[in-house]
Amino acid sequence: MSKRALIIVDVQPGFCEGGSLAVEGGNACAERIADFVTEYGDEYDLIVTTQDWHVDPGEHFSDDPDFVDTWPAHCVAGTDEAELHDAIASLSIDFEIKKGEYAAAYSGFEGEDGEGRPLVRVLRDEEISEVDVVGIAESHCVKETALDALKNGMVTRVFSDLTVPVTEELGKAARAEMDEAGVEQLDSEDAFGFYEEPEDEEIPGDYGASADSADDFDDDGYDDDYDDDYDDEDVDDSAAYSDDEDLDSLLADFDDIDFDVDDSDEFDFSDEANDDDFDFSDIDYRP
């Protein structure tokens, strides 16, 4: 049986509103991820977080960043904005992966856990074969982490509603790249098939089971195949009367029957009831 992990990528104050490299919608994304994990965390065999944890990442930091290859200083190791977002830190996390101490390190697979194991080793040690990726930012670290998971032979999904891009244009390009690579992208509400419509089940019984369409029914609404189950030879036509003459003959058979009804007065009930029986004036009715 396959085992699945959830990778929560770089949901840190430094990448949320108020941080040094803020992504619009970061805080709301953190809350949505926390709600999802609270609801469906039991569906995962492993939950892993990644964090930018920069010490001296070289040219990754710049006082004059181009926001493509160079960026303002952010998520410096040991600072508050490098820690996990409060909404994520409150969850039950199995492993925390830190990356980028001395390099850019966009992908979570460039990071290590507290024992020095790279992310891929952590996942393989736990026999994980399928991963779901969420976090910040879709256009950069989420995309790169998802692509690396796929390259390492894991079935990979990204939940589009649990991530945000740096810009919508970059997000669109990232989604196209992931789609071309084979990363499945879907909303978290469809993650485990909880919203699939049940298939129509055939009503028990043989009647009408072979009727595949309205064409199988005649003008009277009966299944033609059902009628075929009965052979005309099995029907006794001896009592069938096809015209008025036969019907008169049948009724004549009752003329000679004496039902022995006595026309005496004992069937006369006219004197057994009078007006006094319907006088209710002495009843005290109080609503």
Other beta carbons within 10 Å of 22: 18
| Residues 6 or more apart whose Cβ sits within 8 Å of residue 29 | 11, 16, 135, 136, 162, 163, 164
Contact call for residues 195 and 69 (beta carbons, < 8 A): no
Active-site annotation, residues = 10, 99, 141
